[in-house]
Amino acid sequence: MRDNDESIINLDDAYALETPEDNKNLYRNWASTYDADFAQRNKYIYPKTIAAICAQLVDEDSPTTVLDIGCGTGIVGTCLADSLTKSIIDGVDISPEMLHVASTKLRLSRDLVYRNLFEVDLTKPISFAKTKYDVAISAGTFTHGHLGPNALINVFSAVRPGGLMVVGINKEHFSANGFSAALEMATDNHIIGTPTFSEVQIYDEGSPHYGDLALVATFLVLSPA
Ligand SMILES: C[S@@+](CC[C@H](N)C(=O)[O-])C[C@H]1O[C@@H](n2cnc3c(N)ncnc32)[C@H](O)[C@@H]1O
């Protein structure tokens, strides 16, 4: 289903995606209009909220290395760089077109938001990271579609022991797709510390999607696989 204007890609199109290839095809066409037609129009506040949760947990004076998982056009990284001005942020995404938009994003200082951007399929084992990150952050990536708990667990290997993860997971997707059991198992096996969860709005009041919720899981990676 599409908005009244048939040419506008919307949330239902994104939620209908089943394979990595479906994603590449949708985001190829969506990248150039995503920020204005999707994020602004729908009052998409999730990246800003997640960046704020992360910024509260990180020393703003340290050059913390951060991996933005499913960075898309770079909204999360841009919000984070506004608070953590010394952060060094890399992004990964499957869509070269979304990554191209992210590569143009600027910090308040006018420096680029992202140091490196990697074209990566998160359903595959992670091999791009030459060093492990202090922090991994994500909004809007673990949503209806193909990226389930296994993809989240794959990302642990990109984070240094003792590093922090701040990951938003669509609440319905969380319940339907076994995130709880996967995180419990990782906790029991001492791969991660016990997660804390906060429930957040994905869209602001006044959005047609107001009321869609995400759980933001915050935890330390203890011993990545
Ligand atoms: C809804 S967008 C969220 C983008 C950004 N984090 C934000 O909040 O605006 C979901 C992103 O996940 C990416 N994605 C989907 N499947 C992927 C996969 N298998 N590997 C890597 N990235 C993927 C898409 O290309 C897209 O940029």
pLDDT of residue 46: 97
Ligand 1 atom with the shortest distance to the CA of 98: 27
Measured CA to CA, the distance from residue 172 to residue 45 in angstroms comes to 18
Residues 6+ apart with CB under 8 A from 55: 80, 83, 84
Geometric angle at alpha carbon 190, from 184 and 193, rounded to 5°? 70
Say how many Å lie between the CA of residue 195 and the centre of ligand 1. Answer: 23
pLDDT of residue 144: 78
Rounded to an integer, what is the distance from CA 116 to the centroid of its chain?
16
Q: Kindly indicate the confidence band of residue 6, based on its pLDDT and cuts at 50, 70 and 90.
A: very low
Nearest CA to ligand 1 atom 1: 140
> Is the CB of 47 inside a 6 Å radius of any atom of ligand 1?
yes
Which pLDDT tens digit goes with each residue over 42-88? 999 999 999 999 999 999 999 999 999 999 999 999 999 999 999 99
Say how many Å lie between the CA of residue 141 and the centre of ligand 1. Answer: 5
Weakest-pLDDT range from 30-34, 46-50, 55-59, 144-148:
144-148
Ligand 1 atom with the shortest distance to the CA of 34: 9
What residues form DSSP beta bridges with 89? 66, 114
| 140 conformational bin, left if phi > 0, alpha if psi -120 to 50, beta if neither | left
Which pLDDT tens digit goes with each residue over 113-139? 999 999 999 999 888 888 899 999 999
- The answer to whether residue 2 scores a pLDDT higher than 50 is no
Which pLDDT tens digit goes with each residue over 83-109? 999 999 999 999 999 999 999 999 999
> Is the CB of 78 inside a 6 Å radius of any atom of ligand 1?
no
With 0-12 / 13-18 / 19 or more C-beta atoms within 10 angstroms meaning exposed / middle / buried, residue 102 is buried
pLDDT of residue 8: 64
Mutate to test the pocket of ligand 1, among 23, 101, 103, 155 (most ligand atoms within 8 A of CB): 23
Which pLDDT tens digit goes with each residue over 164-221? 999 999 999 998 999 999 999 999 999 999 999 999 999 999 999 999 999 999 999 9
Measured CA to CA, the distance from residue 127 to residue 48 in angstroms comes to 28
- The answer to whether residue 225 scores a pLDDT higher than 90 is no
| Three-state DSSP string of the chain | CCCCCCCCCCHHHHHCCCCHHHHHHHHHHHCCCHHHHHHHCCCECHHHHHHHHHHHHCCCCCCCEEEEECCCCCHHHHHHHHHCCCCEEEEEECCHHHHHHHCCCECCCCCECEEEEEECCCCCCCCCCCCCEEEEEEEEEECCCCCCHHHHHHHHCCEEEEEEEEEEEEHHHHHHCCHHHHHHHHHHCCCECCCEEEEEECECCCCCCCCCEEEEEEEEECCCC
> Is the CB of 114 inside a 6 Å radius of any atom of ligand 1?
no
List the one residue out of 60, 145, 50 whose CA is nearest residue 95: 145
Residues 6+ apart with CB under 8 A from 105: 73, 74, 77, 78, 112, 113, 114
Measured CA to CA, the distance from residue 51 to residue 224 in angstroms comes to 23
Tokens of 41: 């129009």
Mutate to test the pocket of ligand 1, among 76, 127, 141 (most ligand atoms within 8 A of CB): 141
Q: Which CATH number fits domain 11-221: 3.40.50.1100, 3.40.50.150, 3.30.559.10, 3.40.1000.10?
A: 3.40.50.150
